[in-house]
Structure 1
Amino acid sequence: MRWKDKRESDNIEDRRGMGAAPRLGGGKIGLGTIAIALLAWWLFDINPMQILGMVGNGPQQVQHVPASKVAPDDEMGRFVSVVLADTEDVWGELFRQQGKTYQAPTLVLFSGRTPTACGQGSAAMGPFYCPLDSKVYIDLDFYRTLHTQLGAPGDFAQAYVIAHEIGHHVQNQLGISDKVRQLRSKMGEAEGNALSVRQELQADCLAGVWAHHADRARSLLEAGDLEEGLNAASRIGDDNLQRSAGQAVVPDSFTHGTSEQRVRWFRRGFDTGQMQQCDTFAAASL
């Protein structure tokens, strides 16, 4: 990616060093546990920490954490800041074209654990978006796991992860997330999972829309970058994660979509660059 010397976002909270927890690459958390967490990290209406057994089932007491608005001075921190800034530019313009105002989210860099409005966040969860405070949370050690354990190396694979979470923020801004939560509260588990798949695939498609406009407007992508993103989408499909964890593939348990579906919808957003093409809820088939 051609990301160096580009604008960095001001919407960064750097909490790194303020907490501690077992690291994904440190041998204390196995691939099976990671896969289970990955199946939950991008859901809006549950706390993945309950799956990992690191929090109780009761309401979460959220502490106030002073935000550090100092720009990250390490390379990975700057990379994340540039990608976030680019999503601000793309979605700000696309919302403006629709007569809407895009309210940019905050991205929180943390290490170990950190409180959020959605409960206690942990490195073991991977990146996630909390709709209650409109913040994306990332422990940058996750990118090592993405490369070494999930087989998805490359800077554009890392950018895709951020863009997917921003896709959830776009859904939240458009009121889609609230509608999904309301519908899921009236559904059984299998129906709710199927609806969640459509929500997650839409976030993949919106990530592709961002990449389309970022490349067209600022030539962000280099040769091989798109393939890195598609590979990352494939590696975190529900079917692939279940196989990687040594589990049977159970379609009714899918919450994010198969590898093929995730690749297809990310590619659709990238090829068209149109939000209207990301209506997974109206699609007859995924």
Structure 2
Amino acid sequence: MEWRGREQSRNIEDRRRMGGGGVRAGGIGGVGVIAVVVIGYFLGIDVTPLLNDTSVTGGGQVTQGELTAEDNAAGEFVSVNLRYTEKIWDQVFQEQVGQPYQPVTLVLYKGVTQSACGSASGATGPFYCPGDKKVYLDTEFFTTMQQQLGAGGDFAMAYVVAHEVAHHVQDELGILGKANDYRQRVSEAESNEISVRIELQADCLSGVWARAVQDRFGAIQQGDFEEAFNAAKQIGDDTLQRSAGRVPMPESFTHGTSAQRSGWFAKGLKSGQMEVCDTFAAQQL
């Protein structure tokens, strides 16, 4: 993906240089922490209690170190991709929705930080918080994707950014609020089903975005879309549960199967139209 030297977003809130917000990992080794975090995030489980001696520091006793060259590159990459989302959704909203698009703020952090939706850490993974309309991302998650999930490549990372921004798109359209309100009034199984439809719609909207990036900016290189498809497959609920040594349990799915996630991304990519992303009306996901 072409991104170096491209325009960056001004809607980045970089908290990585703030002191006193680090995380000290103790009882579980580094790879173990990553594995537990991945399983917890994608299965919708807060695994913070499982990180035995992992402690959130306070009072400035442990501060975050200087940003590395890799940190700076990751920050630039995210900022460029966020700018791509701003330009694309501004145009798409005008053409397909008939209303202005209000861009989202993306918070970069290392270790742990706070959001209006609670603590953000490795155990929560990247997420969109409708409470403050911000996306939270620790770029170490990109390492997790590559090393633990087999979902490497820059466009796989771009897909993650696009997916979280797509939740903001849902929020701007009033879809996310209505869906989450409904989830509060139904059974756990029904709530999980609605969650799957929310996530698959975000995957489809990510495909709409990817199509526009190709058509408008010419930033797509050979193999980029394949990286996104692979990422979508690797983070399907069924694949992650098998990787965790469990028999897939559809009633517990919250994000959709590998086939569903890659399939809805493909729908958005092929059409470039938001109207094809109505997962809530779909009889077959």
TM-score for both structures, normalised by structure 1: 0.87
Partner of 1:29 in structure 2?
33
1:120-199 to structure 2, matched below 5 A, reads 120-199=119-198
2: CA distance, partners of 1:175 / 1:84: 21
CA displacement at 1:54 relative to structure 2: 8.0
* Cα gap change, 1:224 to 1:174, in 2 (>3 Å): same
2: CA distance, partners of 1:39 / 1:73: 27
Contact 1:21 1:123 (8 Å CA) reproduced: no
* Cα gap change, 1:273 to 1:6, in 2 (>3 Å): same
CA distances 1:253-280 after superposition (whole Å, capped 9, x unpaired): 0000000000000011011100000000
2: CA distance, partners of 1:30 / 1:76: 18
CA displacement at 1:35 relative to structure 2: 1.1
1: CA distance, partners of 2:32 / 2:111: 13
Is residue 2:268 matched to residue 1:269?
A: yes
Please, which of 74, 77, 81 is the counterpart of residue 76 of structure 1?
A: 74
RMSD, matched Cα: 2.0
Partner of 2:235 in structure 1?
236
CA distances 1:158-186 after superposition (whole Å, capped 9, x unpaired): 00000000110000000101111121112
Is residue 2:105 matched to residue 1:106?
A: yes
Q: State the SS of the aligned residue for 1:262.
A: helix
CA displacement at 1:31 relative to structure 2: 2.0
Q: State the SS of the aligned residue for 2:248.
A: coil
Is residue 2:48 matched to residue 1:52?
A: yes
The residue type equivalent to 1:52 in the other structure is: T
Contact 2:34 2:144 (8 Å CA) reproduced: no
Which structure 2 residue ranges, 5 or more long, are not aligned? Answer: 52-69
Contact 1:22 1:28 (8 Å CA) reproduced: no
Is residue 2:22 matched to residue 1:20?
A: yes
CA displacement at 1:26 relative to structure 2: 1.8
2: CA distance, partners of 1:174 / 1:281: 14
CA distances 1:185-240 after superposition (whole Å, capped 9, x unpaired): 12111111111101100000000000000110011110000000000000000000
CA displacement at 1:33 relative to structure 2: 4.5
The residue type equivalent to 2:30 in the other structure is: G
Contact 2:38 2:144 (8 Å CA) reproduced: no
Range moving further from structure 2, 117-126 or 167-176: 117-126
* Number of equivalenced pairs: 262
Contact 1:32 1:245 (8 Å CA) reproduced: no
2: CA distance, partners of 1:216 / 1:188: 42
The residue type equivalent to 1:92 in the other structure is: D
CA displacement at 1:36 relative to structure 2: 2.3
Contact 2:113 2:121 (8 Å CA) reproduced: yes
CA displacement at 1:34 relative to structure 2: 2.2
The residue type equivalent to 1:93 in the other structure is: Q
The residue type equivalent to 2:23 in the other structure is: A
2: CA distance, partners of 1:32 / 1:105: 29
Contact 1:25 1:145 (8 Å CA) reproduced: no
CA distances 1:108-140 after superposition (whole Å, capped 9, x unpaired): 110000010001111232211101111111111
TM-score for both structures, normalised by structure 2: 0.87
CA displacement at 1:73 relative to structure 2: 8.5
Partner of 2:56 in structure 1?
none
CA displacement at 1:17 relative to structure 2: 3.8
Contact 2:40 2:123 (8 Å CA) reproduced: no
